[in-house]
Structure 1
Amino acid sequence: MRWTRSTIAAAAIALSVVLFFAINIVSDTWFSAARLDLTEAGLYTVSEGTKNTLRTAPEPVTIRLFFSEKLSVKYAAIRAYGARVRDLLRQYESISNGKLKLEIIDPEPLTEQEDLAVAQGVTGAPTPAGEKIYFGLVGTNQASGREVIPFFLEDREKYLEFDVTNLIYKLIREKKPTIGIVSNLPFDTGAGGMAAAMQGRSRSFMIYEQIRESFDAQFLEQDFDRIPDKIDVVMIAHPKPLNDKTQYAIDQFIMRGGRALVFLDPWSEIAQVSADPAGAPLEGSTESSALSIEKLMNSWGVSIDPAHVIGVRDRAQRVSFGGDVTDYVAWAAFNALDMDRKDLVTGELTDLNLGTFGAIRHLKGATTTLTPLLQTTQDTMEIELAKVKGSPNPDELLRDFAKSGVRYTVAARIQGPIKSAFVVPPPPTLPADGSLAKPLPPQLKETKGPANIILVADSDLFNDSFWAQVQELEGQRVPVAVADNHILVLNSIENLTGSSDLISLRSRGTSNRPFTVVNNIRRRAEQQFLREEQALQQKLAATQTRLAELEGRRTAAAKPGATKPSELLTPEQETEIEKFRAELADTRSALRSVQHKLRRDIDRLGTWLAAINTLLVPLMLAGSVLLLAFLRRRKPKPTGTAAQ
């Protein structure tokens, strides 16, 4: 066979096609789990926490992925997400060194596989054709334990690794750590309290639900003389003022080496939330808990001002007020720059939403060390409680804001030796039946080792509306996080119980990237024009009032038979009316101009970004092509050699 240029070209094309398919088949078989992760936070790279969990599993675990492979062909988003889940699970299986067995099942309609999926607790999402797409995960261990992810929601894709690793972790751990909760917040009933629970309308806080999933959560009444030995961590969340007997019990728990997670609040909005149509707070609710454990706080060497909350102007949340959207400085949206990046609890958090929170101060002469975990910026101001109670005015708070230049601590870790808050134990309370009280253990005067306490000067972070959008799926409530409030709480408990493998996973979830430049431009514009806008609004109102008065006077001054304006008012009054009408038109025009200026810089930035995104890349490509063409033309042609 003679090889011509045509046959060589045809053969090259054929070989290229064969090579293309061969590479795809080999890569799909051998490298399907491989990926190049270019995200800043490494969202698609298996974390060390996951690797450690899989490699140290004490027993084999079987996980079954139920995914409707054939039915999902028409739904590109679900199919792509399914491929990612499948690839991730194969990575897990490879990392586990044989301790994780993966089964992938396609539950086609009216098959035994579909019956198995339903029996295992996997939820099907109905399609327009009346069929159901299954996309869930079931994990089992040798002790008949079972954990289920009923359906992989696309909104939770950023939490995929945590959800899967958490399922495996629950199957391999020996027992759940026990958390004792001391609180006056309606964690288990939600805003409606017991009245709503009795009517079947209760909705527990989602953070409490997540605590229950990962830990053995037990409520401790707010009146006790000892904390049971089985409690690993005590969580004190906005309690009512505790008596000496109860504070002594917590004191001795800390002396014995117990760990505490504490949330105290100078003004708790979540405690005032009620399902009552009139808006009345829950019966027995606590407005402030800043002084609820004052003796303990003194022994820990810290305090929270009960008379003020902290306003942070450059972290203010945007709220609707008076038909407009404005900054509410008493609610803050903190970002990664405000958090301790070295601490395991906050090291990978990106967003925290808090409301009417306080400031933690380290007392002079304290034996403890205080390490801030969350701090404000310096654009702060102390706000009296009266200004945030009832119906606060965000515009007024913003207008009267006076920068203090102080950076306040909102959350902190308290460590070091602590002496007991009590010189002698408080007298015991006799049982109601007249029997003798069970004797308390001998008092410990100081901690056996360094204490470890995490204190947060806020309780509103538990409010679902502050951090999540709660969706209903087949009767189950699923939170879609917009901030890391839940992660802060869960990380803190994990850290205090001594487990840190899940912390790095939880913190990989939120990848929200705020428009920092746009937000700064908007805030500067609002600060610059807010006073001018307010002055024009006042002038506009005064002009309208004066004009209405003159128009009313014209009517009142009307004479019988009078038909002309000159017969109703004096020429001076008519001139004044015309003057006020012109002034009213000028004021409205000026007000529109001010409101336009509020958007001008942001719109200008948007125009530039659009131009860059639209034109820059094509211009760069065109420039590269022209440059290459220019260089090729400048390349000297080879000179021929003289014939021999």
Structure 2
Amino acid sequence: MNKKQTDLFLYSSLGVVIMLVMVVLVNVIAGHLKTRIDLTSEKLYTLSEGTKQILGELDTDVEIRFYATRDEKVMPPNFKNYISHIEDILDEYSQYSGGHLKITKYNPEPDSDAADLATSDGVTGQALSFDDRIYLGLAISMLDKTVSLPFLDPNREKLLEYDLTRAITQVTVDDKPIVGVMSALPVFGQQPNPMMAQMGQAPPQQPAWFLIDQLQQDFEVREVPLTAESIAADLDLLVVIHPKDITGSTQYAIDQYLLAGGKLIAFLDAMAIVDQTPSPNGNNMLGPPPSTSNLPELLSAWGIEFEGSKIAADRLFAREISFQRGAPPQVQPGILFLDPKGINADDVITSQIDQLLIPFAGVFKGEPAEGLEQTVLLHTSEESQLVDAFMARLSGENIMKEFKSDEKKYSLAIRLNGKFKTAFPDGKPGVGEEPEEDDLDNDDKETEPEAPSLKESEEGASVVLFADADFIYDNFSVQQQNFLGSRMVQLLNGNLPMAQNVVEQMAGDSRLISVRSRATMNRPFTKIRDMEVEAAKAYQARINELEEKKREAEQKINDIQRTRQDAGQGQRFVLTPEQKSELENLRENNKKVSEDLKDMRRNLRKDIDSLQNTLKWVNIAGMPFLITMGGIFIALVKRKRTAAR
């Protein structure tokens, strides 16, 4: 080997060694850096700004104990990937906590100390079989306060960040959030009239709505009069339910509460069945008309219009129902049975809701005012139209006969975020007007001057509006039974869970509102999925065709047999040549069907396997191939430059 070849060999070897050292150094340095880059298309590992702020403000150590079964023989394969995803997210939380988040991982094997600790933390094992139980949950604690997430259901993967951040805020906050409830309906229950009770004519005592009972377990719930002239500043949230005949002064109070940093949920109604006076004949559909409710001044300032004289009718979400016991059911398109097609699956409030019952709802129209952003939470299908509220009560069948779709989706629930401007630029209604004579007699009484009104919210406020109030009433959301004096309740749909979701999110830390519903880790091969869909279409079409032929042949056989039985009862049954021919054809047809199905399944599996193998090898060999080709290209360029010298 001459000197030139020796030098080339040494330089090449040295280059390889330097490259390996650089790779090792890059990995070591990168492993100690706190900066990370999320290259996933849906930003699966990027935390929301609200979460980052909450973690950044931690000044006391918070401990997270993560319990996950590691036995591969017990844990289902899809759970293993989910465990890795949870651990990655927890690592991200730790990065932003300033060292105040302490994460400990446990593997609760049967009869182990870790299993006992999990049980004491409220994390329970989920039974997969008679012998096997898996653990996948965590407990978050700070000082003497602990919040548990007993089971991290993969079906709630989109809400993982929200659940974790909410639990952290729960252990770091001492007092329960305060929720004010304002309503024209007896949502807190109603005591019987004492005078009527003495006469024996009083109706029974009405308990509080079940929603209120549930909220009182997690929040400090206060009743706010519908005639309130001001809203207490310490309320974390104001919930307005069917504000019938609300005055301008009360709307002004709500306006100022919102601009001062408050949050608002309003359940309006174009046709409040709950507030309807019972009809003497028991048929409320023909009784006095239900009442309506609105927040006209406020909505107008926000650029939103509530359709209070018409209700949304929808053919897609209609069902057959009976309005009276014993009466035949009829389709009523004004009573909406929403499924996922009408529910926003990407929002934290509604992402886990798959069924809602909303009776005779109004709709929201318009574009939000400047500075406000609108998110539609619930909507009709395009097979919907607006119907006069009075006509909607009379006959669903008539609506269906004359139904003409508007071919547009109407908003049934919306959220507004941003900077709100006052709906009362001239101040409180009535202030500055000429005093009445009664007031002139009280000149000697001191009156407090009105505080200057706010014109715009200082921070981004949030409002959630629903176009119906009936759906959170007990009769439309739960089934109740009295068992040995106890109130037994069973959910009928997702009405109450959704109402609780929105209250929970809005009453908590305001930054939780910005925590998004995340994409899932499951990234299917869309090409393979499309192939399966197309093959399934052809497969199903062929099945339907062959099954139809089979049914026709069987029908003919039955007709022939019935004819012979009718012709001679008790005679021995003998197949005619025609019947034998039909049976032979049927057997041949069935045999051909089986062979065709086997071929189609075999070809489909072969195509899918081929595509999967191709993609697998492209992923495995693609990067090394590109690096090799790049190296060859650089070497050729260098050789050409060396030769030119």
- TM-score normalised by structure 2 residue count: 0.52
Contact 2:343 2:353 in 1 (8 A): no
Partners of 2:603 and 2:186 lie apart in 1 by 51
- Alignment gaps of 5+ in structure 2: 1-23, 190-202, 323-327, 437-444, 479-487, 534-599, 616-645
The answer to whether structure 1 residue 443 and structure 2 residue 450 are counterparts is yes
Question: Could you say what secondary structure the match of 2:148 adopts?
Answer: strand
More displaced stretch, 93-102 vs 58-67: 93-102
Contact 1:298 1:421 in 2 (8 A): no
The equivalent of 1:261 in structure 2 is 265
Sort the Cα spacing of 1:491 and 1:232 in 2 relative to 1 into closer, same or farther, 3 A: closer
> Percent identity among equivalent residues?
22
Partners of 2:338 and 2:387 lie apart in 1 by 17
The equivalent of 1:234 in structure 2 is 238
Contact 1:290 1:305 in 2 (8 A): no
Partners of 2:165 and 2:411 lie apart in 1 by 33
The equivalent of 1:401 in structure 2 is 403
Question: Could you say what secondary structure the match of 1:122 adopts?
Answer: coil
The equivalent of 1:168 in structure 2 is 168
Sort the Cα spacing of 1:77 and 1:257 in 2 relative to 1 into closer, same or farther, 3 A: closer
Contact 2:334 2:392 in 1 (8 A): no
- Aligned residue-pair number: 462
The answer to whether structure 1 residue 493 and structure 2 residue 517 are counterparts is no
Cα drift, residue 321 of structure 1: 6.3
Contact 2:506 2:513 in 1 (8 A): no
For 1:331, give the aligned amino acid: L
Contact 1:255 1:445 in 2 (8 A): no
Question: Could you say what secondary structure the match of 1:489 adopts?
Answer: helix
Residues 260-284 of structure 1 deviation map (CA, whole Å, 9 limit, x = unaligned) = 3322111346889x9xxx9999xxx
Cα drift, residue 503 of structure 1: 2.6
The answer to whether structure 1 residue 92 and structure 2 residue 102 are counterparts is no
The equivalent of 1:62 in structure 2 is 63
Sort the Cα spacing of 1:116 and 1:354 in 2 relative to 1 into closer, same or farther, 3 A: same
Cα drift, residue 406 of structure 1: 7.2
Contact 1:238 1:265 in 2 (8 A): yes
Sort the Cα spacing of 1:221 and 1:68 in 2 relative to 1 into closer, same or farther, 3 A: farther
The answer to whether structure 1 residue 181 and structure 2 residue 205 are counterparts is no
Sort the Cα spacing of 1:477 and 1:349 in 2 relative to 1 into closer, same or farther, 3 A: closer
Question: Could you say what secondary structure the match of 1:73 adopts?
Answer: coil
Contact 2:357 2:493 in 1 (8 A): no
Cα drift, residue 63 of structure 1: 0.7
The equivalent of 1:306 in structure 2 is 308
More displaced stretch, 39-48 vs 381-390: 39-48
- Map 1:512-531; keep pairs closer than 5 Å: none
Partners of 1:320 and 1:373 lie apart in 2 by 31
Partners of 2:54 and 2:75 lie apart in 1 by 36
Sort the Cα spacing of 1:298 and 1:159 in 2 relative to 1 into closer, same or farther, 3 A: closer
- Map 1:154-233; keep pairs closer than 5 Å: 154-172=154-172, 177-183=177-183, 204=211, 209=215, 217-222=221-226, 224-233=228-237
Sort the Cα spacing of 1:171 and 1:351 in 2 relative to 1 into closer, same or farther, 3 A: same
Contact 1:418 1:446 in 2 (8 A): no
Partners of 2:422 and 2:83 lie apart in 1 by 51
Sort the Cα spacing of 1:88 and 1:255 in 2 relative to 1 into closer, same or farther, 3 A: closer
- Alignment gaps of 5+ in structure 1: 1-22, 429-437, 469-474, 519-608, 625-644
The equivalent of 2:387 in structure 1 is 383
The answer to whether structure 1 residue 457 and structure 2 residue 485 are counterparts is no
Cα drift, residue 161 of structure 1: 2.5
- Map 1:280-295; keep pairs closer than 5 Å: 287-291=290-294
Sort the Cα spacing of 1:161 and 1:188 in 2 relative to 1 into closer, same or farther, 3 A: farther
Contact 2:252 2:423 in 1 (8 A): no
For 1:65, give the aligned amino acid: F
Residues 201-226 of structure 1 deviation map (CA, whole Å, 9 limit, x = unaligned) = x85489x65x975x654443445454
For 2:90, give the aligned amino acid: L
The answer to whether structure 1 residue 503 and structure 2 residue 504 are counterparts is no
Sort the Cα spacing of 1:186 and 1:123 in 2 relative to 1 into closer, same or farther, 3 A: farther
- Map 1:521-560; keep pairs closer than 5 Å: none
Cα drift, residue 103 of structure 1: 1.2
- Map 1:429-440; keep pairs closer than 5 Å: none
Sort the Cα spacing of 1:251 and 1:504 in 2 relative to 1 into closer, same or farther, 3 A: closer
The equivalent of 1:317 in structure 2 is 317
Contact 1:311 1:381 in 2 (8 A): yes
Cα drift, residue 294 of structure 1: 5.6
The equivalent of 1:546 in structure 2 is none
Contact 1:137 1:148 in 2 (8 A): yes
Sort the Cα spacing of 1:507 and 1:478 in 2 relative to 1 into closer, same or farther, 3 A: farther
Partners of 2:329 and 2:293 lie apart in 1 by 33
Contact 1:329 1:398 in 2 (8 A): no
Partners of 2:601 and 2:39 lie apart in 1 by 24
Partners of 1:295 and 1:317 lie apart in 2 by 32
Sort the Cα spacing of 1:330 and 1:204 in 2 relative to 1 into closer, same or farther, 3 A: closer
Sort the Cα spacing of 1:506 and 1:307 in 2 relative to 1 into closer, same or farther, 3 A: same
Contact 2:306 2:364 in 1 (8 A): yes
Question: Could you say what secondary structure the match of 2:161 adopts?
Answer: helix
Question: Could you say what secondary structure the match of 2:429 adopts?
Answer: coil
Cα drift, residue 96 of structure 1: 3.3
Cα drift, residue 139 of structure 1: 0.8
Question: Could you say what secondary structure the match of 2:164 adopts?
Answer: helix
The equivalent of 1:631 in structure 2 is none
Cα drift, residue 99 of structure 1: 1.9
Sort the Cα spacing of 1:399 and 1:124 in 2 relative to 1 into closer, same or farther, 3 A: same
Question: Could you say what secondary structure the match of 1:161 adopts?
Answer: helix
Sort the Cα spacing of 1:97 and 1:252 in 2 relative to 1 into closer, same or farther, 3 A: closer
For 1:317, give the aligned amino acid: F
Sort the Cα spacing of 1:83 and 1:111 in 2 relative to 1 into closer, same or farther, 3 A: same
Partners of 2:308 and 2:394 lie apart in 1 by 17
The equivalent of 2:142 in structure 1 is 141
- Map 1:24-173; keep pairs closer than 5 Å: 41-43=42-44, 46-70=47-71, 73=74, 75-76=76-77, 78=79, 81-126=82-127, 128-129=129-130, 133-142=134-143, 144-172=144-172
Question: Could you say what secondary structure the match of 2:168 adopts?
Answer: helix
Partners of 2:317 and 2:101 lie apart in 1 by 45
Contact 2:331 2:396 in 1 (8 A): no
Cα drift, residue 309 of structure 1: 0.8
Contact 2:67 2:108 in 1 (8 A): yes
Question: Could you say what secondary structure the match of 1:267 adopts?
Answer: strand
Sort the Cα spacing of 1:390 and 1:179 in 2 relative to 1 into closer, same or farther, 3 A: farther
Cα drift, residue 149 of structure 1: 1.0
Contact 1:257 1:447 in 2 (8 A): no
Partners of 1:456 and 1:72 lie apart in 2 by 48
- Map 1:332-351; keep pairs closer than 5 Å: none
For 2:311, give the aligned amino acid: V
Contact 2:318 2:335 in 1 (8 A): no
Contact 2:176 2:220 in 1 (8 A): yes
Partners of 1:157 and 1:101 lie apart in 2 by 22
Question: Could you say what secondary structure the match of 1:165 adopts?
Answer: helix
Cα drift, residue 64 of structure 1: 0.8
Question: Could you say what secondary structure the match of 2:64 adopts?
Answer: strand
Question: Could you say what secondary structure the match of 1:261 adopts?
Answer: strand
Question: Could you say what secondary structure the match of 1:416 adopts?
Answer: coil
Sort the Cα spacing of 1:229 and 1:480 in 2 relative to 1 into closer, same or farther, 3 A: same
Cα drift, residue 383 of structure 1: 0.8
Cα drift, residue 400 of structure 1: 2.0
Sort the Cα spacing of 1:223 and 1:128 in 2 relative to 1 into closer, same or farther, 3 A: same
Partners of 2:69 and 2:614 lie apart in 1 by 48
